[in-house]
Structure 1
Amino acid sequence: MATSRSPAQWPGLEGVDERRFELLVIGDVGIEVRASLPDVRFTDLDADRLCYAPARAMVAGTAVNLARCAARYFRRVGVLGKVGDDAFTPVIRGELRRIGVDDRLRVEPGAANGVAVMLRDRPCGGGPGARLLVVRDDPPGRRLAEREVRAAAAEIGAADVLVTDGYSLLSPVSRAALHAAARLARAAGTRVAFDLVPHDVDARLPADGVLPMLALSDLVISEAPTLARLLGRPVEAGGQGVRDLLPVLDRAVPGRPLWLLRFGATSLERVVAYQRERLLLEYPTGYGDGVERAGFGDRLAAAELYWWLSGP
């Protein structure tokens, strides 16, 4: 892996002219309503409030959000996920076609699609504002089954990288499917990348519900405080706190995964790239005041994945 330039420098966050590699992502797929409330702080609300603000509905979910960004870097991008069977289903499939992403969706007959509402309140003190994310409590993605993943073995084996995330760990059914997908990928020589979300996964799962997936991964993207809490370590935002975490990762997770640990005031400003007993790089991401937060993490992840696959 070349370590002289960071992913934010090359390939950068705007995509590439020469698209290479094939990426398959497993994750959530659904409908999301987003709005920012420029004149409202959640902590000030003590009664009903009507607020007019920019709002939009879009096809989203962890798999779609990453695929939309990855399509600017990768020669071929596919989404493997489970969706419902309602009026939103053709909208979802149409959006995948529009952004040039292969539709590997599994449809659950008679089920409703997942819906999420994301509200962000007025920034305070120069920060991005607080985010309230409300997600349907039983989306179809939680029922992606191991047999459905095994039926996609050829697609997994054809990809250069399989990208997964922690939302699939929250259900025993999709967790088994995720583990099966990672094992299929490793057997086929496909690299496995894992994004450790949600950021409060430590409050939702014990460490032993997460560590097996980390052990199956070749690359792990995580906010450093998330990993620290999961492993019962002090949470520190600064670079030294991240460095103190590195030997803990070596003891907790076998193998030699590449860790991309995000940290800073909002856990998005800087990244440490580390691989067992070797600090490869520390770099700024380009995130800061005036940069739109929504979608920035996926843009960064797409650039990081391309950078990683391009290394020796």
Structure 2
Amino acid sequence: MTAKPHDVVVVGSVNADLVVRVDRRPAPGETVLGSDLATHPGGKGANQAVAAARLGGRVAMLGRVGDDTHGEFLRGTLRREGVEVESVISTPGPSGVALITIGPDGDNTIIVSPGANRWLSEADIAGARPLLTAAAVVSLQLEIPIPTVLAAARVAAEAGARVVLNLSPPDRLTDELLALCDPLVVNEHEAAFLLGSSQDLSGKPGPRWARALLALGPRSVVITLGADGAVVADGTDVEVVPSPKAEPVDTTGAGDAFTGALSWRLAVGDDLATAARFAARVGAAAVRREGAQGSYPTLEEVAEP
């Protein structure tokens, strides 16, 4: 796989993150004062691309931005981070925007206005076939239309690329799309959404949850558990992967840091558990600094002692 021109091609969202910190979140109908507004590059797709590129990956991005000032800013940021942006398409209208509120504990709440991301289409996938077939791993999320995600997964799988799909924001997947995931990456809430009321979800997520997710059809599964690490499972093994301890400053984009790092390590030949152990270190490093992409570490910063 490493002989391909790109380690990772990310197909997904590119957003401007508009961030405000608050001492406490407002109740319905209540107004609270927050910090000055900060604008950061974001979007789950772009975040994952930058996370992989910072670590040294050869990364390209396929997505859409608006023909507004946010679009210029987002494309320029990706380029400066070393991500190939020739397939980031300019679209009439607004770029995607995420409205992020960060509480005193570092946890966040997010509302996403998709903007140009909603126009990334199956035709765009067809036009980018040479890019997708040049990747060892194609990384996908759900801030773009699901038919587009499925089209990208089909092209990637046909070309022998590994398909990494992050079920965020959570949505129902067809059996065909689930069967192409290797791995399906979910957090606790996304796992519960996918498993639904038919499953006994008592207790903390663990190997039992991972096996239940595997039974839905993906080739492999990763359940991210924040400070508790991750559970990884394929057809033969289930393993709990720990996370380094970290005092959280801002958890925005930490899951994307994990998935970007996971995709890159899979692309260069790691097995799933080894890639997840590395990705857990990257995710832990990301929560120690503010912002999403700005918090992502370099390879030297997460090297094992």
Fold conserved between structures, TM > 0.5: yes
> Residues 156-186 of structure 1: CA distance to partner in whole angstroms, max 9, x if unpaired?
0111110001222xxxxx3222111111111
Instruction: Provide the residue aligned with 1:11 in structure 2.
Output: none
Is 2:165 the partner of 1:194? yes
One-letter identity of the residue aligned with 1:40? R
Is 2:257 the partner of 1:299? yes
Instruction: Provide the residue aligned with 1:70 in structure 2.
Output: 52
Is 2:222 the partner of 1:260? yes
Instruction: Provide the residue aligned with 2:244 in structure 1.
Output: 286
One-letter identity of the residue aligned with 1:259? V
> Residues 177-216 of structure 1: CA distance to partner in whole angstroms, max 9, x if unpaired?
2111111111111111101111xx2xxx4x4x35432211
Residue 243 (structure 1) shift = 2.0
Match for residue 167 of structure 1 among 109, 132, 143: 143
Kindly report which structure 2 residues correspond to 1:124-163, keeping only aligned pairs within 5 A, or say none. 128-129=106-107, 131-136=108-113, 138-163=114-139
How has the CA–CA distance of structure 1 residues 54 and 282 changed in structure 2, closer, same or farther, with 3 Å as cutoff? farther
Report the TM-score, using the length of structure 2 for normalisation. Answer: 0.77
SS in structure 1 opposite 2:200? coil
Contact in 2 for aligned 1:32/1:115 (Cα 8 Å) = yes
SS in structure 2 opposite 1:71? helix
SS in structure 2 opposite 1:106? strand
Instruction: Provide the residue aligned with 1:23 in structure 2.
Output: 8
One-letter identity of the residue aligned with 2:138? L
One-letter identity of the residue aligned with 2:213? L
**CA distance in 2: counterparts of 1:77 and 1:33, whole angstroms:** 25
**CA distance in 2: counterparts of 1:36 and 1:210, whole angstroms:** 38
Is 2:17 the partner of 1:40? no
Instruction: Provide the residue aligned with 2:287 in structure 1.
Output: none
**CA distance in 2: counterparts of 1:278 and 1:47, whole angstroms:** 49
**CA distance in 2: counterparts of 1:98 and 1:111, whole angstroms:** 24
How has the CA–CA distance of structure 1 residues 245 and 224 changed in structure 2, closer, same or farther, with 3 Å as cutoff? same
**CA distance in 2: counterparts of 1:301 and 1:183, whole angstroms:** 20
**CA distance in 2: counterparts of 1:73 and 1:160, whole angstroms:** 16
One-letter identity of the residue aligned with 1:260? V
What is the Cα-based RMSD across aligned positions, in Å?
Answer: 2.4
Residue 253 (structure 1) shift = 0.7
SS in structure 1 opposite 2:247? coil
**CA distance in 2: counterparts of 1:23 and 1:193, whole angstroms:** 10
Instruction: Provide the residue aligned with 2:212 in structure 1.
Output: 248
Instruction: Provide the residue aligned with 2:277 in structure 1.
Output: none
Contact in 2 for aligned 1:247/1:277 (Cα 8 Å) = no
- What is the count of residue pairs matched by the alignment? 263
> Residues 207-229 of structure 1: CA distance to partner in whole angstroms, max 9, x if unpaired?
4x354322111211111442233
SS in structure 2 opposite 1:81? strand
Is 2:81 the partner of 1:96? no
Is 2:164 the partner of 1:182? no
Instruction: Provide the residue aligned with 2:230 in structure 1.
Output: 271
One-letter identity of the residue aligned with 1:294? T
SS in structure 2 opposite 1:48? coil
**CA distance in 1: counterparts of 2:102 and 2:182, whole angstroms:** 33
**CA distance in 1: counterparts of 2:266 and 2:202, whole angstroms:** 27
**CA distance in 1: counterparts of 2:261 and 2:75, whole angstroms:** 25
SS in structure 1 opposite 2:138? strand
Instruction: Provide the residue aligned with 2:279 in structure 1.
Output: none
Higher Cα Rg, which structure = 1
**CA distance in 2: counterparts of 1:24 and 1:30, whole angstroms:** 17
One-letter identity of the residue aligned with 2:146? R
Contact in 2 for aligned 1:222/1:262 (Cα 8 Å) = yes
Contact in 2 for aligned 1:224/1:242 (Cα 8 Å) = no
> Residues 58-91 of structure 1: CA distance to partner in whole angstroms, max 9, x if unpaired?
2211111111111123441111001222232222
How has the CA–CA distance of structure 1 residues 34 and 236 changed in structure 2, closer, same or farther, with 3 Å as cutoff? farther
Residue 54 (structure 1) shift = 5.5
Residue 155 (structure 1) shift = 0.6
> Residues 115-161 of structure 1: CA distance to partner in whole angstroms, max 9, x if unpaired?
221002233xxxx44x331222x522112111111111111011111
Residue 288 (structure 1) shift = 4.3
The runs of at least 4 consecutive aligned structure 1 residues that moved more than 6 Å come to: none
**CA distance in 2: counterparts of 1:89 and 1:290, whole angstroms:** 30
Could you tell me which runs of 5 or more consecutive residues in structure 1 were left unpaired when the two chains were aligned: 1-19, 169-173
SS in structure 1 opposite 2:50? helix
Q: Once the two structures are aligned, what percentage of the paired residues are identical?
A: 25
Instruction: Provide the residue aligned with 1:212 in structure 2.
Output: 176
Could you tell me which runs of 5 or more consecutive residues in structure 2 were left unpaired when the two chains were aligned: 272-305
Contact in 2 for aligned 1:26/1:79 (Cα 8 Å) = yes
